[in-house]
């Protein structure tokens, strides 16, 4: 067996304004709590550093800066892998970056959001790489928020051997029900575990009173089952995952019985055909000029 306890956070957002210092300290407190619950990895949500900080929601920090230093210290002190997302600045460019810290507090690498929202694209430079990270329990990767609308991203990761896909987001209600369906579909389609981290209001999510952050940190297994969830409350969802478990299905690929889904799927996926079709479609793609021109200006 090759097991790990994965923890993912529904990050508490107060009704009153936050400060960057408050958010970073709250993130470190979740790290301490995750470690006390035996987690091998803790995932924080998108933009955790600047959420609900008036006038600074898009504030970007040089790397390695104070945020990275504090998270590295928390990871090392609590002997836990930490995955955290915030805006960073490098050579005058801003990225929506998720940084991975190992148990020693070292930066194992980072992922930069490939599909920024139209609002982000005015200031955020998109990433263009699909990095994978071999941690001490298995191979992980990251997609961020809007990335989930692009099924190519988790499919590429699956073909790179990723076992756990981490999805920090800052989703608002009521779209969370559609995103739940997407999350489950991405897990099933690619025979992969996915962990989601999001924001939660306090008191809990209640659209009728204007509190529209649905929380719902959760972990979905490769069969689409939700194996851990915070519901609508803030906190940490934890699941013990056996990454050596054979990922079987009931003869849906029709290659053998039972199907060994991940390797069978990889073996029959027609990558060359799909790549050719995408290349042909790109020639006639109706590209949104405002979006792509802004992205190109940021490169």
pLDDT one-digit tens code per residue, 220-230: 999 999 999 99
Task: Report the pLDDT value the prediction gives residue 296, as an integer from 0 to 100.
Answer: 63
pTM over 0.85: yes
- For the residues 43-61, what does the mean pLDDT come to? 97
pLDDT at 225: 96
The pLDDT of residue 298? 55
In a domain, 271, yes or no: no
Residue 264 lies in a domain: no
The stretch 165-193 carries a mean pLDDT of 92
212-271 per-position pLDDT tens digit: 898 899 999 999 999 999 998 999 999 999 999 888 888 888 888 888 888 898 899 999
Q: How far apart are CA 95 and CA 76, in angstroms?
A: 25
Domain assignment present for residue 258? The answer is no
Query: Does any domain span residue 164?
Result: yes
CA angle at residue 90 from 88 to 95, to 5 degrees? 40
Domain that holds residue 235: 3-246
What would you report as the CA-atom Rg of the chain, rounded to the nearest whole angstrom? Answer: 19
Q: Is the pLDDT of residue 299 over 70?
A: no
The residue among 212 and 5 whose pLDDT is bigger is 5
Sequential DSSP letters for 126-141: PP-----EE-SS-EEE
- Cα dihedral 188→194→200→203 (10° resolution): 60
Count how many domains the chain has: 1
**By percentage, how much of the chain surpasses pLDDT 70?**
98
The answer to the question of residue 197 being in a domain is yes
| Residue 78 counted as domain residue | yes
Average pLDDT value for the chain:
94
Q: How confident is the model over 21-49, as pLDDT tens digits?
A: 999 999 999 999 999 999 999 999 999 99
Q: Would you say 30 and 12 are in contact if contact means Cβ atoms under 8 Å apart?
A: no
CATH number where 74 lies:
3.60.110.10
By C-alpha distance, which of 113, 108, 137 is closest to 124?
Answer: 113
**For 108, phi and psi rounded to 5 degrees?**
-80, -15
**Average of pLDDT values for 114-120?**
94
Confidence bin at 297 (pLDDT 50/70/90): low
Concatenated DSSP letters of the chain: --EEEEEEEEEEE-SS---HHHHHHHHHHHHHHHHHTT-SEEEPPTTTTTTT-TT-TT--EESS-HHHHHHHHHHHHHT-EEEEEEEEEETTEEEEEEEEE-TTS-EEEEEE-SS--TTGGGTBPPP-----EE-SS-EEEE--GGGGG-THHHHHHHHTT-SEEEEE----TTTHHHHHHHHHHHHHHHT-EEEEEEEEESS--BGGGTB--B---EEE-TTS-EEEE-TTSSEEEEEEEETTS--EESSSSSSSSSEEHHHHHHHH--HHHHHHHHHHHHHH----HHHHHHHHHH-
132-163 pLDDT, tens per residue? 999 999 999 999 999 999 999 999 999 999 99
Residue 50 confidence class, pLDDT cut points 50, 70, 90: very high
Please report whether residue 206 resides in a domain.
yes
Mean pLDDT of 190-197: 97
> What pLDDT digit, counting tens, does each position of 77-101 carry?
999 999 999 999 999 999 999 999 9
| Rounded CA separation 214/142 (Å) | 21
Does the pLDDT at position 202 exceed 90? no
Give the pLDDT score at 186: 97
Q: Is residue 118 in a domain?
A: yes
């Amino acid at each position: 067996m090759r097991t790990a306890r994965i923890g993912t956070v529904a990050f508490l957002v107060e009704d009153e304004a936050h400060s960057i210092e408050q958010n970073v300290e709250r993130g470190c407190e979740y790290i301490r709590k995750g470690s006390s619950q035996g987690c091998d990895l803790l995932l924080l949500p998108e933009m955790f550093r600047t959420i609900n900080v008036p006038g600074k929601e898009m504030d970007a920090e040089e790397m390695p800066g104070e945020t990275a230093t504090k998270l590295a210290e928390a990871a090392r002190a609590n002997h836990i892998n930490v995955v955290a997302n915030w805006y960073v600045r490098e050579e005058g460019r801003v990225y929506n970056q998720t940084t991975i810290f190992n148990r020693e507090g070292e930066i194992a690498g980072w992922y930069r959001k490939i599909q920024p929202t139209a609002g982000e694209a005015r200031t955020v430079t998109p990433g263009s790489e699909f990095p994978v990270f071999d941690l001490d329990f298995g191979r992980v990767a990251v997609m961020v928020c809007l990335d989930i609308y692009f099924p190519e991203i988790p499919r590429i990761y699956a073909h790179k051997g990723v076992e756990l896909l981490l999805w920090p987001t800052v989703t608002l209600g009521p779209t969370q029900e559609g995103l739940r369906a997407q999350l489950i579909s991405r897990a099933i389609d690619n025979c992969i575990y996915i962990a989601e981290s999001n924001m939660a209001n306090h008191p809990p999510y209640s659209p009728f009173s204007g509190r529209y952050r649905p929380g719902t940190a959760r972990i979905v297994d490769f069969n689409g089952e939700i194996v851990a969830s915070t519901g609508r409350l803030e906190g940490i969802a934890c699941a013990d995952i056996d990454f050596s478990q054979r990922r079987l299905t009931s003869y849906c690929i029709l290659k053998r019985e039972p199907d060994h889904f991940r390797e069978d799927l990889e073996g029959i996926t027609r990558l060359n055909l799909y790549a050719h079709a995408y290349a042909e479609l790109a020639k006639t793609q109706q590209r949104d000029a405002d979006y792509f021109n802004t992205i190109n200006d940021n490169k």
